[in-house]
Structure 1
Amino acid sequence: MHYKVLGKSDLQVSTVSFGCMSLPAANPAESIQLLNQAFTNGITYFDTADLYDKGENEKLVGQAFRENRQQVIIATKVGNQWRSDGSGWDWNPRKDYILKAVESSLQRLQTDYIDLYQLHGGTLDDPIDETIEAFERLQQQGKIRYYGISSIRPNVIREYVKRSNIVSVMMQYSLLDRRPEETVLDLLKESQIGVLARGSLAQGLLTGKPPKVYLNYSEKEVEKAAQAIQNLVKENLSPATMAVQYVLHPPAVVSAVLGIRTLPQLQEALHIPNAEALSENNIHFLQESIRPLLYEQHR
């Protein structure tokens, strides 16, 4: 496993990390065992959110790491408030809600601090300064070590870069979603803010699932991109390895956060960091296989 420092923090993050959202809650013992296997094999960063499974996902993470809490990096998210009747959730980035929600997350995670607390979205209509005040207060109180945002919106990201002390931005990024390459990756690199990439496999479309329309790509375009990935596969390497190596290529990207829910998925993820990095020629080959998308909104 390889590690990088996340932005201006002192968090040493594994270059492939564990996205916990898909962990099955029906068999908690199995999920906890999977989390511990990941940790034993070098994964240090585990990403969850209070939204996932109405907090049950945080509970799984908390149970898994209560004995070795200081050896793992636990990240969770806030901003989506469940309605009292459980019918759905509403966006709430207000200071009073964040200060209240963190207490519930700490309790579910069985910890007295969160390594990385992330705003789970964001718009320009939010009370951004108020949101930042909440994170800054929590940091001063020692309840969180660092904070970041999870967003794909360049206009929102720019505001947090200018106005806050975020150390990370989580965003969707893959060969089938190259929008971050337009401006955001360079901005975050210059600002020493680490990128946590999600969706690196594009819902499995880059790793063997039947092609379908994805974002603004046609089925034929998706198939062409998947074939380009396949053309780079070598002995003992999988399409997933190639797809993730593409995402890890930009200097701004610290880790690919992979959704893991089974042992075979974990085993495949663990092989990715040890593979040889893609050459510039290979990167260019992949980029030539499909037209880049540009942000049409939130620019």
Structure 2
Amino acid sequence: MQYKHLGRSDLKISTISFGCMSLATATPGESIRLLNDALHQGINYFDTADLYDQGENEKLVGKAFLGKRHQVILATKVGNQWRPDGSGWDWNPRKEYILQAVEGSLQRLQTDYLDLYQLHGGTLDDPIDETMEAFEILKKQGKIRYYGISSIRPNVIREYVKRSQIVSVMMQYSLLDRRPEETVLDLLQGNQIGVLARGGLAQGLLAGKPAKNYLNYSEAEVKKVVEAVKNPLIPNRTATVTTIQYVLDHPAVTSAVLGIRTTNQLQEALHINSSEVLSKEEVRYLKKLLVPNKYEQHR
């Protein structure tokens, strides 16, 4: 496994990391074994959120790593507040709520600190200074080591780059969603802020699911990319390996966060690091397949 520092932090995380959202809480024993298998095989960054399964996902992760806290880098997210009746959630980036919500996450994860605490969204209408103050308070209290945001919105990302001490941004990035390439990836790289890339397989379309329209691309265009990642011009690699290696090729990207649900998916994820990296020619070939998409909103 390969490891990189996350932005300016001293968190050295695996370049393939474990997105826990997809874990099945209905079969916790199997999911706990899968999490530990990933840890034993070199994945050290595990990403969850208080939103997932109304906190049950955090409980699962906490149970899996009880007694192994020093071996893992734990990240969770805050900002989506469940309604008391469980009917849904509302956006709440207020200082008071963040300081309250962290206590629940710490309890569910069975730890007294988080390595990375992320704002789970964000808009320009948020009280950004108040949000940042909450994270800074938690750092001083020792309850979090670092903080970041999870956002695809360039205008929001720019504000946090200018006004905060974030060390990371989690965002969607794939061969079928190249919007971050327009400006955001270079901006973050220039400011030593690490990118946690999610959605690298584009809802599974680049890993074998039937082609369909995706973002601004037609089904035919999606098929063109799918065929390319299976093309013999890119030998000895599965479509998943090719696709995620493309994501990792950009120097701004610290880690590809993959939703892993099965042992087979874990093994394929681990194979990404052991495969020969894409050549410059291969990257250029993949980039020429489609006109890159751009953000239409939140610019």
Which TM-score tier does this pair reach, normalised by the shorter chain? over 0.9
**Correspondence 1:146 to 2:183:** no
Find the aligned partners of 2:208 and 2:106 in 1 and give their Cα distance: 39
Pairs aligned (count): 298
Segments of 5+ residues of structure 1 without an aligned counterpart are none
1:216 maps to: 216
- The alpha carbon displacement at 1:233 in A equals 4.3
Where do residues 81-230 of structure 1 align in structure 2 (5 Å cutoff)? Answer: 81-230=81-230
1:13 maps to 2:13: yes
Question: Matched residues in 1 for 2:208 and 2:16: separation?
Answer: 20
Other structure's SS at 1:158 match: helix
**C-alpha deviations, 1:159-207, integer Å up to 9, x for none?**
0000000000000000000000000000000000000000000011112
Shift, 1:241, TM fit: 0.2
Q: In the alignment, is residue 30 of structure 1 matched against residue 21 of structure 2?
A: no
The answer to whether residue 238 in structure 2 is matched with residue 249 in structure 1 is: no
Distance 2:238 2:71 in 1: 30
Paired residue secondary structure (2:230):
helix
Output the CA distance in 2 between the equivalents of 1:204 and 1:96. 38
Task: Pick which of 225-234 and 99-108 moved more.
Answer: 225-234
Paired residues of 1:233 and 1:239 also in contact (CA < 8 A): no
Give 1:208 shift: 1.8
Taking only aligned residues, the RMSD between alpha carbons, in angstroms, comes to: 0.7
Does the 8 Å contact 2:234/2:282 carry over to 1? no
**In structure 2, what is the equivalent of residue 234 of structure 1?**
235
What letter corresponds to residue 69 of structure 1 in structure 2?
A: R
Q: Distance in 2 between matches of 1:66 and 1:208?
A: 35
TM-score (normalised: structure 1): 0.99
The aligned amino acid for 2:203 is: Q
Per the TM alignment, residue 67 of structure 1 is displaced from its structure 2 partner at its CA by: 1.0
User: Retained in 2: the 8 A contact 1:211–1:223?
Assistant: yes
Q: After TM superposition, give the deviation of residue 234 of structure 1 in Å.
A: 2.2
Q: Which residue of 2 aligns with 1:69?
A: 69
Cα displacement string for residues 107-153 of structure 1 (whole angstroms, at most 9, x for unaligned residues): 00000000000000000000000000000000000000000000000
Structure 2 counterpart SS, 1:244: helix
Other-structure match for 1:60: 60
Q: Which whole-Å deviations, capped at 9, do the CAs of 1:28-78 have from their partners, x for residues lacking one?
A: 111111000000000000000000000000001101111110110000000
Amino acid at match of 2:111: T
Aligned position for 1:268: 268
CA distance in 2: counterparts of 1:108 and 1:290, whole angstroms: 44
Which residue number corresponds to residue 80 of structure 1? 80
Rounded to whole Å, the distance in 2 between the matches of 1:264 and 1:179 is 30
SS of aligned partner of 1:234: coil
Offset from partner CA, 1:199-250 (integer Å, 9 cap, x none): 0000111122111010111000100111111114423x21000000000001
What one-letter code is carried by the residue in structure 2 that aligns with 1:234?
P
Q: 1:3·1:14 contact (CA, 8 Å) conserved in 2?
A: yes
Whole-angstrom distance in 1 between the partners of 2:30 and 2:235: 32
Q: Which amino acid letter does the alignment assign opposite residue 174 of structure 1?
A: S
**Do 2:154 and 2:184's aligned partners in 1 also have CA atoms closer than 8 Å?**
yes
Q: What's the % identity of the aligned pairs?
A: 73
Q: Which residue is equivalent to 2:3?
A: 3
The residue that corresponds to 2:294 in the other structure is: 294
* 5+ residue gaps, structure 2: none
